[in-house]
Structure 1
Amino acid sequence: MDERLQQAELDALWRYDDPIASAERFAIAASEPDRPELVRAELETQRARALGLQGRFAEADGLLDSLEPALGTLAVRILLERGRLRNTEGRPAEAVPLFESALLAARRDADTFLAVDAAHMLAIADPARSEQWTEEGLVELAGVTDPRTLRWGVALHSNRGWALFEAGRSHEALGSFEAALEAAERYGTLDQQFAARWSLARSLREVGRWQEALDIQHRLAAERPGESEVAAELAALAEVEAHVRDAATEAAPTIEP
């Protein structure tokens, strides 16, 4: 039996849009008596994360306290989840040193997956150094062959894209969204692929390539009818199209009879 939590099982247990159900699944899995102690403890770190997503921060911290002292993978997971709790609670300055410690510990243990997780969280919690942390995460992925680990490229490029977009660096953001889509198509889930195409289209609209954006959003609408964010973009693009059409009409020469 494996002596650590396998990512495939973790993925199957998580429903990030339903932290209550996720916490229940992790509690059930952690209570199974035939599991190694380390795996049960790792499952409990994920239950703590799910509790944090519910706003139950003190309870989540108490659960993590109960798992210490810890070494190796478990210690890294505890650092990561304490950092996520602080960041979710709106205390990013306290989260950053926890994520930094997690990154160093994961590197020491040659755990690339958790090292990239830590770098990705640092890029979120430490916006002043977001590009540095994103680049460190991408460097960690260099030479990796595991598709599930390489999936981190989707989040790293996408997060960088939105940081650039919000900073008004739209053309640079477009390049990051293109890289995110490439990673999503190679390694990502269907949801990640959908989100990456939407983000790329939004970026294309921002840089004036509205017809390309419109084509993508129409395809997304056909794929998932009723998606509110797609509908909002289609409405915005319709306004752009109308404005361009009106401008073209005004600019047309008048031919006297």
Structure 2
Amino acid sequence: MSTENKLDGARLDALWDFDDPAASAERFHVELSRLEPGSTAHAELRTQVARALTLQHLEQEALAELSAVEAEGRDDPQVRARLELERGRVDNSNGRAAAAVPHFQAAATAAADAGDDFLVVDALHMLAIADDERSDEWTRQALAATEASTDPRTRRWMGSLRNNYGWTLHDRGDFPGALEQFEGALTANQETGIAKRIRIAEWSVARALRSLGRFDEALAIQSRLVQGPEDGFVSEELGELLLATGRPDEAAPHFATAATLLSADPWFDEPDRLARLVRLGTVYQLRRHPASAQRRLSPIRRSRGCRIR
């Protein structure tokens, strides 16, 4: 099967909204009606329907969609790369990282056979996430593949790769190394001009600066970011920075805002962290609305240790 009619990457990017996988899936189904059944592009897009289902925590539906594509029996490295990637993502998203690794390795091989730089890097970046023991090795390979590619869409991976590696180093306590990677991610994202990624990279730089005790620099960045769209993570960092610099009264309203915003975020699943934000923000709420603050604190106490959606 030829891959000449493979899915257009720019078109796929336009259809995807990773913050709203359900709406993305609806767009994919509309697009599928316009593509030739049996074509490489049609099969590839069906794997993205599966990815959208995975992001909605619909594991069995995602696997069924992938099995249906697989049952067509096509011998196409482009489609094979997509299938392996999404099977790996299903496993990884459901706590089976070890089972995901062979899928991502197979995806990298198939993508190389198909000559698709973007999918090669995608597979390597997933290996860096799923395979802790070899994470640095996979990241270096992904960065090298990105640097070597002449495809502008593939080169956009640089920001994400440096961001992910930065968090790996941060989790290890290597804060100077993390800052270097976050600054590299910021530079890469500024080159692509994607505002949301630039904002995330700036936040990450500030977070590393806080870990390094460089509070004034971090505070300057977060104080600028808070002027933009409401963001619970920015409010949380402002609270932490003000608390660290001996200004708990100034920190409290930021913690309260962070608790409100993050409790409404379906992706935020850290009950202990949320409980701490509520506790720190309650100082502020008690002063303004005592009864409301007490009601707000009680459910968090009852839900400690449970999943908060």
TM over 0.5: yes
Within the candidate set 86, 107, 126, 1:121 is matched to 126
The one-letter code sitting in structure 1 at the alignment partner of 2:198 is: Q
Counterpart CA distance in 2 for 1:158 and 1:241 is 27
How far does the alpha carbon of each residue in 1:205-243 deviate from its partner, in whole angstroms, 9 at most, with x for none? 11111111111111111122x311111111111122227
Question: What is residue 66 of structure 1 aligned with on the other side?
Answer: 68
What stretches of structure 2 of length at least 5 have no aligned partner?
248-309
Tell me, yes or no, if the aligned pair for 1:154 and 1:188 is still in contact at 8 Å: no
* Equivalences for residues 188-207 of structure 1 within 5 A: 189-207=194-212
Q: Deviations over 1:60-97 (max 9, x none)?
A: 11211121223121111111011111111111111000
Among candidates 209, 214, 224, match of residue 209 of structure 1:
214
Of 189, 195, 219, 1:184 maps to 189
CA distance in 2, matches of 1:237, 1:106: 44
Query: In 2 relative to 1, CA 213–97 (structure 1 residues): closer, same or farther, beyond 3 Å?
Result: same
| Residue 142 (structure 1) shift | 2.2
- Aligned pair count reads 241
1:158-169 to 2 correspondences below 5 Å: 158-169=163-174
Q: Deviations over 1:183-207 (max 9, x none)?
A: 1111252111100000010001111
Change (3 A) 1:63 1:125: same
Q: Are residues 1:151 and 2:153 paired?
A: no
Cα root mean square deviation, aligned: 1.6
The one of 18, 21, 27 equivalent to 1:19 is 21
Structure 1 residue 228 corresponds to structure 2 residue 232:
yes
Q: Residues 7 and 33 (structure 1 numbering): CA distance in 2 closer, same or farther, change over 3 Å?
A: closer
Q: Aligned-pair distance for 1:38? A: 1.6
2:145 to 140, 145, 159: 140
CA contact (8 A) 1:148 1:187 kept: no
Counterparts of 2:144 and 2:187, CA distance in 1: 17
- Normalized against structure 1, the TM-score is what? 0.89
3-state DSSP of counterpart to 1:4: coil
By how many angstroms is 1:130 displaced? 1.1
Matches within 5 A, 1:75-154: 75-154=80-159
| Secondary structure at the counterpart of residue 223 of structure 1 | coil
Q: Which amino acid aligns with 1:22?
A: S
What are structure 1's unaligned runs of at least 5 residues? 244-257
SS at match of 1:66: helix
| Pairwise CA distance, 1:105 | 1.6
Residue 54 of structure 1 deviates from its aligned partner by 1.4
For residues 75 and 20 of structure 1, the distance between their equivalents in structure 2, rounded to whole angstroms, comes to 24
Residue equivalent to 1:38? 40
Which residue type is aligned with residue 237 of structure 2? E
**How far apart, CA to CA, are the structure 1 residues paired with 2:49 and 2:36?**
19
Contact kept, 8 Å, 2:117 with 2:151, in 1: the verdict is: no
Instruction: Give the secondary-structure state (helix, strand or coil) at the position aligned to 2:149.
Output: coil
| Residue 239 in structure 1 maps to residue 274 in structure 2 | no
Structure 1 vs Structure 2: percent identity of aligned residues? 45
Q: What is the CA distance between 1:32 and its match in structure 2?
A: 2.0
**Partner residue in 1 for 2:267:** none
- Structure 1 residues 204 and 132, CA gap change in structure 2 (3 angstroms): same
The structure-2 alpha-carbon separation of the partners of 1:33 and 1:125, relative to structure 1 and needing over 3 Å to count, comes to: closer
Give, as a single letter, the amino acid of the residue that structure 2 aligns with 1:7.
G
4+ residue runs over 3 A deviation? 33-36
The 2-side partners of 1:174 and 1:143 are apart by 24
TM-score (ref. length: structure 2): 0.75
